[in-house]
Every structure is written in C-alpha cells, then in structure tokens.
Amino acid sequence: MARQLFELCGSDPARVFSPFCWRSRMALAHKGLDFDSVPWRFTETERLAFARHDKVPVLVDGDAVVVESFDIARHLDAAYPQAPSLMHGAPEPYRFIGAWTDTVLHAGIAGLIVTDIPPLLDDVDRAYFVTSREKRYGKALSEVTAGREDRLPAFRASLLPLRHALRGRDFLGGAAPDYADYTVFGGFMWARVVSPLELLAADDAVHAWRERMLGLFGGMARAVPAAA
Amino acid sequence: MARQLFELCGSDPARVFSPFCWRSRMALAHKGLDFDSVPWRFTETERLAFARHDKVPVLVDGDAVVVESFDIARHLDAAYPQAPSLMHGAPEPYRFIGAWTDTVLHAGIAGLIVTDIPPLLDDVDRAYFVTSREKRYGKALSEVTAGREDRLPAFRASLLPLRHALRGRDFLGGAAPDYADYTVFGGFMWARVVSPLELLAADDAVHAWRERMLGLFGGMARAVPAAA
C-alpha cells in the first residue's frame, strides 16, 4: 500500500489547510518520500479509529501508523536515517519551537483569520467548527476577528523572535531548512490557504523567508490554491 | 594558564548577574570544566581588547579566546566532544530559543527589574548604565519599572511557550538539561541576583523548573547571593 497522509481539508480536497498537517507534508517532502494525501474533514473521527486517534495528521507508512505531527517527524528520521535529517538526532530543542508556534503564532493567526474558515467547509463540518470555536472563544467568531487590520501591527511585533532567529541565515535550520522551519511555516500555510488577509509586510525578513519556503520542493506549497 | 571566564558583576564580584554570562557558566559546569571567574565591569572595555570585543562573556580556554555565549557553547561542544553534549551536534534550533529569550524573556524581565541594577554598581559603572539605558528606553528608569507588580500577570502570560515546552518533562532538554535550559535560565538568574521581585507564581511549572535548575551541579546557581 502506498504511504498515506490523512490531511484536513474543507469542500475542496486540494486546499489542505491544517498547520499541523503542513508540518508533516513538508517533512515528507524533505525526506524525499512520496505519499497519497487522504482528505479528511473535522467530523470524520470514525475514519481515524484505526489509528486510535481523532485528529490529523495521521501517517500510514507500511506497518506503521503514526499520529501527531511531532511524532511523525521523529518516525521519519528514525525510519529513514539515510535521507536528510529533520531534527538532527535531537528532537528536544524543536519542542520549544513547536510550543512557541502553537501558543503565540497560531493563537495570533487564529484571531485574525478564524472567520475565513467556515465558508470553506461543508455544512456538517461548518456547524461543528463554528459551535466548537465559539465555545472556546466564548464569543461569536465575528467578534474574534473584528478590527483585524488594526491588530496586524501587534501580530507582526509578536514575530520578533522569528525575525531575530533568521538574522544572517536563510532558514531557521541555517543554510537549509529543517523541522524548525516546517513547524513555523505550517501556520503561515494555514493562513495562506484560508484567508485573503496578508499577515506580513513586504519588507519583513519573515516575508522573504516565507517566499523561500513556498519555493521549496519545486514550489509544492505555492502550488496549493491560496485564498488571496 | 587556568581556564578563565570574564563575567559581568557590580561592586561585589560574587554577584555575577549577566544572563549571557550565566549561559556560559552553566555550560562549563555541564561539561564538567573548571574555570576561574574574572570579574568585569561595564566600563572596563579596554580589558577585553585582547579578545577584540567589548562585552562579556569572554572565555579564555588554552589558546582559544571565544566571545559571545552561543559561540562559547559551540566551542565547548567542539573542543570537548567526550563530555555531555550541550547542543547535540546541531546548534541551529537553539538559536530560536535564544532569540525568544533575548527578545521576549529578557525584554520582559528588564522592564520589571532594571531599577534594581544601579545600586549594585560602582559609581563609574552606575553613571554609564543609567545614561545608556535611559537613552535606550527614552525615559527615566523609574518610569520603566513603575507599577511593576501590576505587570507581573502579563509577564507570566508571556512565558506560555516555556510552560508548554516543559509539559511532561523536567527540562527543555528532556530528562536532562541542555543548552536550551541554560539559555532561558540565564534570564532568571539575572533577575534573582539583582532584584527582590519574585517573577513567578509558586504553582507555575516554570517555577518548579527553575528550582531544578538552581539545584544543578551541587546547587551552583543557588549558592550565588540572591537579592531577595
């Protein structure tokens, strides 16, 4: 059976938008591994019963079923040691980059784009998404993203650690990208696929880095339909 | 000649307080390397002319003169590969942790404790410090730390990535500390040595981690006089 990556999408299976799935998609490309993308929607939890999990990404790689993007990356480094390393033998420092991405970058992006997601979803998923997210935020999604253009400067300021880490180098991984880059880039792909809002100023070093990431692996990420 | 680490202090040479020097101090202990601490004050730039640099830490290790804490850690891993690794052969992901520490943690701490530093300094250093920092902030230092107790909740909230990265593990390095831990811990030692202000709530996982860090290497960090 071909390698399979279960990935979140909406009505259009080409528009994969989960930031965590993007981490795994880029990781597979980094390793030079082909895979079949299996479209998955929020409410299809029973389809993941085989993995004893209820979220994507899920990777099926031969006999291995691996859940959670971080563990997928570790699996790929362990199973394919001859391919370029994602985490250079020491996954621990990448956890902090993931923690910053989850708590600062994703939270910031969600507050700017969450209203752009429901229109991409089928009816059942849309109802689930709006209800669960409004419960999480404790308010209507329209209130979450209200005045978002005015909050862009604060969002951009929150990227200062990323900007500093990129000083004097093309990628967080140095001369070449590694799992640090894919971890952070997932958030920007999420925004790109679902929202027309431009998160970054054109003269931002993070913008230039994002362009380099979009161009990797023959422009794999750039080829996915963007919302803008 | 014995190994020497030039470290920032004020009137009391025992109270080394630079967060960057603490990174190097912990890194040397991690490697099991003895060193002589050479006290250095802000205005003694001519004493570092031999290193072609004007800041500490500066490490003199045999024929090697190494400046900048990150490069000192790289030097130690390269020169002492048989000792426990600081960065596991891949320094790049540690740069992001350093970038977050420099731009978020240190900036947050400085805004809470900067007024506690001048009383620790000799006259010449005090004048230099106050003038240069007031120029940087564009206001009196007393205005920088005004109402600091009221800003503690926001500071503690800014530590969320750290809190997440520590979930389920004792150290950022995993079961044992590594250079990620020393990078972040330097900021907390800076605060501990110069200020009586308690930055962390007692039930914060970051507090428990800081306690573990204070106990490393026979309680080396805890033994340095604290301001509180």
8 A C-beta contact, residue B125 and residue B39: no
Q: Is residue A73 part of a domain?
A: yes
Q: Domain ends where: B20, B48, B79?
A: B79
The average pLDDT across B31-53 equals 96
Instruction: Look at chain A and count its residues.
Output: 228
**pLDDT tens digits, residue range B78-99?**
999 999 999 997 899 999 999 9
A60 and A133 both lie in a single domain: no
The average pLDDT across B26-50 equals 96
| ipTM score assigned to the predicted complex | 0.95
Search chain B and give the residue with CA nearest A175.
B92
- Angstrom distance (rounded) from CA A188 to CA A177: 15
Q: Domain ends where: A57, A79, A101?
A: A79
CATH assignment at residue B63: 3.40.30.10
Q: Which tokens in the block code for residue B64?
A: 């090697």
Number of Cβ within 10 Å of residue A98's Cβ equals 23
- Write the single-letter amino acid at A4: Q
B134 and B174 both lie in a single domain: yes
- Angstrom distance (rounded) from CA B95 to CA B70: 8
Across the interface, which of A89, A90, A96 has its CB nearest the CB of B97?
Answer: A96
For testing the chain A interface, which of B96, B169, B183, B185 should be mutated: the one with the most A CBs within 10 Å?
B96
Q: Give contacts of A 72-111 with B, CB under 8 A.
A: 87-90, 92-100, 102-104
Three-state secondary structure call for residue B179: helix
Beta bridge partners of B58: B6, B67
**Is B99–A174 a contact, with Cβ atoms under 8 angstroms apart?**
no
**pLDDT tens digits, residue range B63-77?**
999 999 999 999 999
∠ Cα A158 A162 A164 (to 5°): 105
> For position B41, what pLDDT does the model report?
96
- Angstrom distance (rounded) from CA A33 to CA A25: 10
8 A C-beta contact, residue A114 and residue A124: no
Place of tokens 């990535």: B161
A21 and A42 both lie in a single domain: yes
- Angstrom distance (rounded) from CA B208 to CA B200: 10
**pLDDT tens digits, residue range A112-141?**
999 999 999 999 999 999 999 999 999 999
> For position B21, what pLDDT does the model report?
98
- Angstrom distance (rounded) from CA A8 to CA A15: 9
**pLDDT tens digits, residue range A64-84?**
999 999 999 999 999 999 999
Q: What percent of chain B has pLDDT over 70?
A: 100
Q: Given a cut of 90, is residue B15 above it in pLDDT?
A: yes
Q: Is residue A224 part of a domain?
A: no
| Whether B161 contacts chain A with CB within 8 A | yes
Q: Is residue A223 part of a domain?
A: no
∠ Cα B9 B13 B16 (to 5°): 45
Q: Which helix (H) or strand (E) holds B37?
A: strand B36-40
> For position A28, what pLDDT does the model report?
98
A153 and A110 both lie in a single domain: yes
**Is A92–B178 a contact, with Cβ atoms under 8 angstroms apart?**
yes
Q: Is residue B148 part of a domain?
A: yes
Q: Which tokens in the block code for residue B56?
A: 């500490």
B114 and B40 both lie in a single domain: no
Instruction: With CA atoms as reference, report the closest residue to B40 among B27, B54, B26.
Output: B54
- Angstrom distance (rounded) from CA B72 to CA B59: 7
> For position B89, what pLDDT does the model report?
76
A117 and A165 both lie in a single domain: yes
CATH assignment at residue A109: 1.20.1050.10
For testing the chain B interface, which of A164, A169, A178, A182 should be mutated: the one with the most B CBs within 10 Å?
A164
- Angstrom distance (rounded) from CA A188 to CA A174: 19
Q: Domain ends where: B79, B105, B130?
A: B79
B111 and B210 both lie in a single domain: yes
> For position A90, what pLDDT does the model report?
85
Across the interface, which of A96, A164, A180 has its CB nearest the CB of B165?
Answer: A96
- Angstrom distance (rounded) from CA B51 to CA B160: 38
B104 contacts on A by Cβ (under 8 Å): 160-161
Instruction: With CA atoms as reference, report the closest residue to A227 among A109, A150, A105, A120.
Output: A120
A118 and A200 both lie in a single domain: yes
* Total domains, chain A: 2
- Angstrom distance (rounded) from CA B30 to CA B67: 18
**Is A172–B96 a contact, with Cβ atoms under 8 angstroms apart?**
yes
Q: DSSP 3-state helix, strand, coil percentages of chain B (rounded to 5)?
A: 55, 10, 35
Q: Given a cut of 90, is residue B1 above it in pLDDT?
A: no
Q: Is residue A225 part of a domain?
A: no
The nearest CA of chain A is from the CA of B118 a distance in Å of 28
Instruction: With CA atoms as reference, report the closest residue to B209 among B159, B156, B171.
Output: B171
Which residues in chain A land under pLDDT 70? 1
Domain residues for the domain of B122 are 92-217
Q: Which tokens in the block code for residue B111?
A: 């805004």
8 A C-beta contact, residue A26 and residue A185: yes
B162 contacts on A by Cβ (under 8 Å): 96, 99
B72 and B96 both lie in a single domain: no
- Angstrom distance (rounded) from CA B74 to CA B76: 5
- A119 CB-contact burial (10 Å; exposed 0-12 / middle 13-18 / buried 19+): exposed
